[in-house]
A and B are shown apart, each in its own frame.
Chain A
């Protein structure tokens, strides 16, 4: 029977529960992969990987180039350079993530289905985190592999055994923090452009404020004021490189945890099937 001859039929097939977040994740990834600009950003974010791979090749094959030989600081620096792409991707994807759903009243569609608010947030978070890990954790780990392949031995890897967990832990902290923050901002508005600008402005404003405070105080103890400084400070601790600010790393960790906590509270309050204006 052709489809157009069929009326409404009852459904007798199977139903599963608890995979709604994964449905949101796969649909979100597919939607982003249809965007040409997004593909351009993803490809561009891997340029540094290629440059570093060439660096590792030269260092492994030409003894005169020992000065460019990789170290833990190289991997730490890799993450610093990737921050630009993390910002671009966060603004492009994260800003629209919930704001567009709120604009289209999609939350009441989502939450009238058998999924919880937590599953919805996890679904949205997983899309953003997956792409951010694709431009941080994946190339960093591949660089480790490339180093082993080009060097032809495990000397560097065994001497720096903490690098694999360091890369993983730092990637997760960075990606989770920025994802939670931008999703929280996204849930506050129905205008994704506004959210994107607000997020970028918060980053730059807090950096500028830190610059002013540093000039006034003559020290870097107030680095915790800037969002990105806290992540940088934690990165230095995790990669065991000299700390760049005087702020105790525990303070930076506290700020990061607080940011995640505040974002979670905002998301919990804003992700509702109905907006109540009392």
Chain B
């Protein structure tokens, strides 16, 4: 496999759970480095990863991982990848070092090498002091770390990380993201990080694939996706009438409005219209503009644009 080849490629992949179509004709390719798999809950991110692992068999389409066909070489693929599942997962009755060494042996490492690497990897993920404790006594954050350790112990070429910061406190989350970033940027491990948390993906990944309703909604380098195809403003307004009517007018004029956690609305103005267009629309609707600030496009804008949120 050449360096320029995609580490993962999918061609018209369809996965169905009964009548529910979880992946709906997904065609995509993931280049090397760190790629974020973004999407709201139920978008099909976890299904995509589980399909690539061979846990779920697509009803249609082809998938290749590291140049190998998932349908014909699942074991060869799994020898070269690491998987950090979304939910709690461990082998019961083992200490952390036994668990990770066991996973190394299952991946084909000799017992002595597996044990040595288990110690190293546990130190690397920050569990060095707790490595002789039974995994069942671990906190949620520690369980996330041990899942990363078991995925790393056999030194995979590609890592699948499914919501790696789930349930972690802010400090632990930052440390986990630093680890992920270090793996991708300094240790030469390709990774696909599935998350619904935009800041996590933006911090750790170079590229992003946005999924929605079982389809690819957008894909590409984050910086390229964030390139403005117009201008973005933060807007706060006051009106005596219905705010929705004003937003409807903006939308009708071809502008995109995305509400944020604050009382600020992010407005995307395509083309060269700029603030002048916003002011004229506000004046026409009898709305007072209390705050208008140019902003830079964020991954959140890309995501909202891709999945059609408002």
The yes or no answer to A4 lying at the interface (CB within 8 A) is yes
The yes or no answer to A103 lying at the interface (CB within 8 A) is yes
Contact B75 A109 (CB under 8 A): no
Contact partners of B150 in chain A: CB under 8 A:
109
> Shortest Cβ distance from B123 into chain A, in angstroms?
6
Number of B interface residues, CB 8 Å? 51
For A106, give its contact among B90, B105, B107, B151 (CB under 8 Å).
B90
For B120, give its contact among A9, A24, A109 (CB under 8 Å).
A9
Contact partners of B120 in chain A: CB under 8 A:
3, 6, 8-9
For A11, give its contact among B90, B113, B119 (CB under 8 Å).
B113
Nearest chain B residue, comparing its CB with the CB of A107: B89
The stretch among A65-73, A127-135, A268-276 that forms the contact with chain B is A268-276
* Contact pattern, B 136-154, Cβ under 8 Å of A = 1, otherwise 0: 1000000000000011101
* Contact pattern, B 67-108, Cβ under 8 Å of A = 1, otherwise 0: 000000001101101110101111111100000001101111
What separation, in Å, do the CA atoms of A3 and B128 have in the docked complex?
A: 10
Known contacts A3-B123, A114-B108; 14 additional CB pairs below 8 A are: A3-B128, A8-B121, A8-B182, A10-B155, A13-B109, A101-B91, A104-B88, A105-B85, A105-B87, A108-B89, A109-B103, A109-B150, A113-B103, A274-B56
Interface residues of B (CB under 8 A from A): 17-20, 50, 53-56, 75-76, 78-79, 81-83, 85, 87-94, 102-103, 105-110, 113, 117, 119-121, 123-124, 128, 136, 150-152, 154-155, 182-183, 187-188
Interface residues of A (CB under 8 A from B): 3-4, 6-11, 13-17, 19-20, 23-24, 27, 31, 100-101, 103-106, 108-116, 272-274, 276-278
A-B contact pairs, 29 of them (CB 8 A): A3-B120, A4-B123, A8-B121, A10-B155, A10-B187, A11-B109, A13-B109, A13-B110, A15-B79, A16-B108, A16-B110, A31-B94, A101-B91, A103-B92, A105-B85, A106-B91, A106-B92, A109-B85, A112-B78, A112-B82, A113-B78, A113-B106, A114-B75, A114-B76, A115-B78, A115-B106, A276-B17, A278-B19, A278-B20
